[in-house]
Amino acid sequence: MPFIHQQIAYMLTDAYTDTLLFLVIAAICCALLVLSTIAPKKLQEKSKLRPHRTTRDKITHLASKRGPTFSTTFLGTRLFHVTTYESACKILTDKDAGGDKGFNYIHFSPLFGKSSVFTQPLSSWWPSRKHINRHVFSKTQISPLPPLISQTLTLRLSSLPLGTPLPILPRLQLLTLEIIFSHILSLPLYSIHSPSTVSAYISALMSLRITLLKTSKDYKYYLTPSIIYRQFPLGSSVHSSSLVVRKFILESLESSPPHSIINSLPGSSSYKIDQLSTLLFAGTDTSSSSISWWMLQYPSSNSTMNLSEEIKEAARRKPVAPMVVRRVERGVECDGVLVKGNVVVWLNAVGMSAQEEIPEVQFGVGRRGCPGREIGRMIVKMTAEWMREKYEWETVEKKLEEEGEEGFTCVPGRGAEIILRKK
């Protein structure tokens, strides 16, 4: 009942806000749409660079190009695509180049909430980031993690089916979720959630990671109140999946002990809910995808490199975050082109990583890099070492190594399977 009451209050608040701001939002969106047809032409003439061909084949097109290109604007915001290693490092590490995360991430609020490090306004994003680093990712907090990872690996991966095709991604999603959940909430995952509830939560996450990306490209999202947008098929899918995620998060937080990491965060209950939503998704999705891509690209029978090199090479060839977005607040020069302030820089990690002669791309570094990268490395490396020690495997279909599901993260397709053998 508390969950239902909170959802009703949440919907009423949304309806009240949407009613007050609908006319203002509609007027602003119309103005931005007009600007989106004017600004690209002027920007193209000024930069003397060819515009991007179409939005649909953006990744494919950029992956085959070398050098920066301007694209059409997205709701009045200028986009600058970077596909070279040197320019990407400059944007990510140069403080004068800006790099604030704050570009249209509000449409991720059904998954992350409105006060997470993904969706917060720029004014409050950096203080929140410091809180997360201090209370969640400090050395003191992550020091108990290796024994927890080892225990979970032994419990969940010791009795995998042998000799038959095994979908690898779902297994690893359950594994990484259990590790992150137990670490942040200080209690076992299955002590408060049934296996069916956990599976429903992961299915909702997988749905949202695709539908939210489509939402960001849907003009109806920006022109209609959220309570009306839910009547459209895409909005309905987002809303139903977000309710599953929200219920899972609320029940988890209510059951967590006072000494847990999530309860050590300063802030209101809604703030903790949003941070927990972000931490569970980010930790589960990225780590499981990284391990899956490594297993698909480097079957044990074909291994010629040491494990650390394999993991790095798998991440280079199949970056989990295919597109890295930063906002340039001051002017910076990239490949002889001056990128002025208030321009969103779109770093195409796929395009850079596809070139074998280019070293590992340092996307995500700098003060705005992933705060949980040390935990991610720990989970990926320990899981890879455990699997390599206990099993040998081969992929079922070679072509599946090159396929992935569209979304704001790159994960292997649902049909990606391996066949395990005991060593």
Q: What is the DSSP code string of 282-339?
A: HHHHHHHHHHHHHHHHS-GGG--S-HHHHHHHHHHHS-SS-EEEEEE-S-EEETTEEE
Highest mean pLDDT among 190-194, 238-242, 389-393: 190-194
Question: How confident is the model over 96-114, as a mean pLDDT?
Answer: 55
Cβ atoms of residues 105 and 119 within 8 Å? yes
Question: How confident is the model over 22-51, as a mean pLDDT?
Answer: 51
Cβ atoms of residues 384 and 294 within 8 Å? yes
Amino acid (1-letter code) at residue 151: Q
**Token representation of residue 82:** 């970077």
Beta strands 417-422; 391-395: pairing state: antiparallel
**For residue 383, pLDDT beyond 70:** yes
Question: How confident is the model over 342-350, as a mean pLDDT?
Answer: 67
Instruction: Tell me the domain boundaries of the chain.
Output: 2-422
Q: Is 25 or 41 the better-scoring residue by pLDDT?
A: 25
- pLDDT 10s digits, 272-310: 888 898 889 888 888 888 898 888 888 865 566 788 888
CATH for 2-422 is: 1.10.630.10
The percent of residues in the chain predicted with pLDDT above 70, rounded, is 54
Torsion of CA 339, 340, 346, 348, to 10 degrees: 10
Q: What is the pTM of this model?
A: 0.74
Q: What is the distance between the alpha carbons of residues 175 and 181, in angstroms, rounded to a whole number?
A: 10
Q: What is the distance between the alpha carbons of residues 227 and 215, in angstroms, rounded to a whole number?
A: 14
Cα angle: 6, vertex 8, 2; to 5 degrees = 35
**Token representation of residue 78:** 């200028």
**Residue 215 Cα distances to 141, 264, 276, 284, angstroms:** 36, 34, 23, 22
Cβ atoms of residues 273 and 249 within 8 Å? yes
| Residue environment code for 382-400, b if the CB has 16+ CB neighbours within 10 A, otherwise e | bbbebbbeebebebbeeeb
**For residue 357, pLDDT beyond 80:** no
pLDDT given for residue 7 in this prediction: 41
Q: Is 108 or 319 the better-scoring residue by pLDDT?
A: 319
